[in-house]
Each structure stands twice: as C-alpha cells, then as structure tokens.
Amino acid sequence: MRIDLSGRTALVTGSTQGIGTAIARALAESGARVGVNGRSAERVTKAVEELSGAGELVGVAADITTDEGHARALELLPEVDILVNNLGIFGSRPALEITDDEWRRYFETNVLSGVRLTRTYLPGMISRGWGRVLYIASDSAVVIPAEMIHYGMSKTALLGVSRGFAKAAAGTGVTVNSVIAGPTHTGGVEDFVYELVDRDLPWEEAQREFMRKYRPQSLLQRLIEPEEIANLVVYLSSPLASATTGGAVRVDGGYVDAILP
C-alpha cells in the first residue's frame, strides 16, 4: 500500500522528540505539510532542522497547554487536516503522594490540551468533509500502572474523549481515533527505566530487567521503537483508514491482555 498525504496539513503536538518526532517525520515523508510543535523555539528549530529532509515542515513553537500558546498555534496553522494530539508528560509517583496540583497538571497537559485543539480544528474538518483526529494514548489507559496512576488516568480519559468526538463527527468524512501505544523506546523512557532498575546496568540489560519486572505481559518482550508507532498513525491519517473511527487501536506489542481493543 502506498500512502499519499500530499495536499494535507498536519499538526503533531509535542513533536520535538520521541514518538512525536517519529510521527512528524513519517507524515512528512508521506507528503503532508507538518507542523512540528514544542514549547521552546530553540528545540523546535533544532527538530525542524533534523527533519528537513523528510518534507515540508512548519515550526510551531507554542505551549499549547496555555491560551497564549493555543492562539499562537492557530495563528501559524489556521487550518489542519490531520491533528495528532501527542503531547504528554509522565513520571512515577506513589499513589498516595500525588498532590491535587499534580493531578490537575496531568489532566490539563495530557487531556485538555488535545480537547482544546480538537474543538478548534474539528469544525473546519467537518465543513471540508475530510479530516483525521488522533490521540496518542497508552497501554496505561487500560492497565493502570501502580507507580503512576495519574498518568494512567489521563490516558484512560483520552479513550473516552476520542470516542465522544468521533460521535460528534459522525457521517462527515472525519474520523477520530485513539492509538494505544505500548512501552516505547524513547529518551524519556530510558530515564524512566533507570528510575526503576539498577542505573549501572548496560541499556540492553536494563531494558530486559524493566520488561521482566514491570511489563511482564508484553508479548513483544522488548520496547517498541517510535517508528513502529508512527507507521500506525500514518495509516490512520490516510484515506485508507476511512472506515476506522471511534476506535482505540492498539500498537502495544501485545501488552494489553485482551482479544478486543
């Protein structure tokens, strides 16, 4: 299958590193004009330079968790055909030590930022009769990790949000889905792994120890590479996925022990 997204404009939030960068690259390589987003102008510029060979890119330096940043993103990209709500924060914390402020921060960053952008861009997609909205969720949405239930809560919320917006776009040619990503190999995850296992272990050993001890149900038995997540996102962003909407589509390495998504 050849996916051609020429003529489409995409915005990938939180795309200066990790999964977001991989998604931005893959969409650009498929022909889309891609907004690369991050809070720091310096990091956005660096990411755009690193991705320059992939295709047409627009730097969107804006903290989309704020009203000012949201307005800035809209100024730079007034219309978007493909919205990938990838921005997210995570970290471990004992359940009884999570403060009210931290609960709010996780909800506002991981959930509300995407809701706000969807509310902004979805009407235009509906009026044009075509669009794709994606939320990057996590296996933690279904299998809540004991060491970060605030993160799990925010990802569970995305499954409900995406299903609800899919109903709002019913019959319009616009699809809305969430992607359940499994444990993925990024710089941030490497740091997280070393919070939980011996820092003196070489990376390959540390990864195996982490998967054995904290993610034993993975059928892949390794961390997923960001490009593997991006492959599914590009498909769901394409005309080929026109009948897939309101779903929670898994690219989790078999981590979630269920037959249905």
- Catalytic annotation on 151? yes
Q: How much is the average pLDDT of 136-147?
A: 94
pLDDT over 90 at 221, yes or no: no
Whole-model pTM?
0.94
pLDDT of 186 higher than 90: no
CB-count burial class (<10 Å; 0-12, 13-18, 19+) for 30: buried
Q: How far is CA 82 from CA 124, 146, 221, in A?
A: 11, 34, 32
44 pLDDT band, cuts 50/70/90, is very high
pLDDT of residue 42: 98
HEC secondary structure over 136-202: EEEHHHCCCCCCCHHHHHHHHHHHHHHHHHHHHCCCCCEEEEEEEECCECCHHHHHHHHHHCCCCCC
Phi, psi dihedral angles at 220 (to 5 degrees)? -75, -35
Which domains are seen in the chain, by residue range?
Answer: 9-184+224-251 (3.40.50.720), 186-220 (no CATH)
Compute the average pLDDT of residues 62-80: 98
In this structure, what token pair is assigned to residue 59? 């730097």
Of 106, 121, 151, 255, the active-site residue reads 151
Lowest-confidence region among 38-42, 89-93, 247-251: 89-93
Q: Side-chain half-sphere of 113: how many Cα atoms within 13 Å?
A: 32
Beta bridge partners of 174: 131
Strands 248-251, 174-181: parallel, antiparallel or unpaired by DSSP?
Answer: parallel
SS3 250: strand
Name the phi and psi angles at 172, rounded to 5.
-105, -10
- 192 — pLDDT class (breaks 50, 70, 90): confident
